[in-house]
Amino acid sequence: MQVNDALNLVREKFTAESTGQTAGEAADKYQDAFSAYPVTMEVATHIFAVQLIQHNMAQQMQAQQAAAGEGQGQGDAGQS
């Protein structure tokens, strides 16, 4: 199993769980892969977690920058 394939399984399982589906095809594929390729699946799980954290941090920074930009715009209007 390639890491990209394992990563796709982890992503599918995460997406399914995010919508409340804890059983089903994604869960079965994930369990089968984890049984057959435990190290590869562990690595893929870690990579997915890092990507998710980086994505969430980027969104948070964008939101903070947008909020700071709105705050500056309001402050500038008051100074005119």
User: What is the pLDDT at residue 11?
Assistant: 96
Of the candidates 1, 78, 79, 70, the one whose C-alpha atom is nearest the C-alpha of residue 34 is 1
Instruction: Give Cβ neighbours of residue 15 (< 8 Å, ≥ 6 apart).
Output: 26
User: What is the pLDDT at residue 6?
Assistant: 96
User: What is the pLDDT at residue 80?
Assistant: 46
- pLDDT value at 43 more than 80: yes
Q: Average of pLDDT values for 23-27? A: 92
Report the predicted TM-score, pTM, of the whole model to 2 decimal places.
0.73
* Half-sphere exposure at residue 61, Cβ-oriented, CA atoms within 13 angstroms: 6
CB 40 within 8 Å of CB 26: no
* Half-sphere exposure at residue 20, Cβ-oriented, CA atoms within 13 angstroms: 0
- pLDDT value at 8 more than 90: yes
